[in-house]
Chains A and B, each alone.
Chain A
């Protein structure tokens, strides 16, 4: 079992839909949780990070962490075709350890 599991999709939604992306993890020692967006043949772009449990909102994006269930989510409201990309979750044990990534979920938003 990999430390971080993420459904690779692909996920296809109509423009304006609410998108839910998820990751599960096995190691309860993870404390920092990040979401990255990666366009084809580009480097990952940091979208949001969360420390420990709770919610964080930034514009159309909301990140949720449920440490009791070892489950994290990213919600995208009013999805746009420009949101079409691969979304990677990443985790870190502390502020000083490398990131452990999921496989990424490929999202297509259809106009």
Chain B
């Protein structure tokens, strides 16, 4: 399967701990996006990369959140000092530059902060 993969699928953490999620995009896609989805809502954009460059960040992305894509392949999203409000599904998507509206999503990482 050459779709978008995410790891871990589920993460339970205590408030105040740091967590890191990984996303592996479709191999030929050079754009990678992070979204957050809470229950009963659609995904909300967090940030995206073209190759290794982070091109845009949403105001939703507080300074506790950081994302990297060091070699233009996989990406990591780190949340420091987690809060209960960070509990959500974190979704990764990828696309080609020529068809950025065609974004293909991974299965998501479900984060629960207790």
Question: Interface range on chain B: under 10, 10 to 19, 20 to 34, or 35 or more?
Answer: 20 to 34
Asked if A92 is an interface residue, CB under 8 A from chain B, the answer is yes
Q: Is the CB–CB distance between B102 and A98 below 8 Å?
A: no
A82 to chain B minimum Cβ distance, whole angstroms, is: 18
Q: Is the CB–CB distance between A103 and B41 below 8 Å?
A: yes
Number of A-B contacts (CB under 8 A): 62
Asked if B106 is an interface residue, CB under 8 A from chain A, the answer is yes
Residues of B within 8 A of A (CB): 4, 6, 33, 35, 40-45, 48, 56, 58, 91, 97-108, 110
Enumerate 22 A-B pairs (CB-CB under 8 Å) in ascending A order.
Answer: A4-B42, A6-B42, A34-B102, A41-B108, A41-B110, A43-B105, A43-B106, A44-B43, A45-B105, A46-B102, A88-B42, A88-B43, A90-B42, A92-B100, A92-B101, A95-B98, A95-B101, A98-B33, A98-B58, A99-B33, A99-B103, A103-B41
Residues of A within 8 A of B (CB): 4, 6, 8, 32, 34, 36, 41-46, 49, 88, 90, 92, 95-104
